[in-house]
Structure 1
Amino acid sequence: MTSEISARTRALAVTCVEIERHVGTRGWDGPIAVFSLVRSAQIVAASPHLAQELPDGAAEDPEHLTSIEQDGLPEAETLEDLLAQLAWPETVDGAAIVVERMVVPPEAEAQMPTDPEEGLAYLMAHPDRQDMRIAVGVLRTGETWCALRSRANDSDDAVAGGPDAVPGLAQALASTLR
């Protein structure tokens, strides 16, 4: 994270990294996890007793976000189907999702078979395959952040991030806020 990003984007970045770490405590090969994001000051205004549950200074920081994991996600065959079923009330400032995906270099992806079963077999056997955990967060105000961890470099100090690392997923998640 650089000083060139806004305070709001910085807060989203911190939240995405925290969410990725939280989901990472469960190990690899886990299910999709979805989170609502709410400004911590808004939570404390509605329920002052919750201030003690937040990190020091969070209640006073207008950009600090609290993530709330969503249980009981709807049944869905694909990630796209799941996202199509999500909607958030206006009290939610943003959303985050954590997924695991296999990635290969672009030149290998270009050679991947179009048949889904053959494509999966190709990915599983490819020597340059990387397993990635991807946490994407979006805010109603338009900010996005992606935190990425590879299984091959599974340590907190090796989590990469940026505002547009996984733009398609960020756009799809943002559509759930409209």
Structure 2
Amino acid sequence: MKHLEIELKSMLTQQEHAQLLPLFKNLDPVTQTNYYIDSPSRSIRQAHLTLRLRTFENAAELTLKIPQKIGLLEHNQALTLKETETILQNNSLPPGRVRQLLQEKQIPIEELTVLGSLKTIRYEKKTAIGLLALDQSHYFGKTDYELEVEVENLEQGKENFQQFLRQHKIHYKPAKSKIARFAENL
């Protein structure tokens, strides 16, 4: 499945995260673990791609993100429990569109390995400005907080996101992607 992802993000303090939690009071959080995959020579990163395995309580998906002029084109592939275990235990990708795209981009599939994981507790809901996600992420003994909104129109989304932050008295703090924050701590 393909999906164009246009996200806006701001890092949050722990206090700002707690301040926004009441907006999600009737929702249960989802715990997800991202396992980031690359070769020792960082061939995926050098190709400006992102490859992750995301696991949930009862599901998993493999995602390849490819930069576009605006946003990222996500190729998502649902995985069985056996396929997930094979990736985590043997660093072996299952057949499918993600593997095919990596091969087309001449990424050495046989060299891929799981670099580590980042666990996120996420609250998510649809709002007038887009799909809003409030995250608390844990990796390498660190915890960080972030607010994301997925939008369809970048310019309108920026305006709406800035207004939302102002409304909640939160100063915008640039946020790198989760994989970038993870990679900085490898």
In which range does the TM-score fall when normalised by the shorter chain? under 0.3
TM-score normalized by the length of structure 2? 0.25
Specify which structure has the higher proportion of helix: 1
Specify which structure has the higher proportion of strand: 2
TM-score normalized by the length of structure 1? 0.26
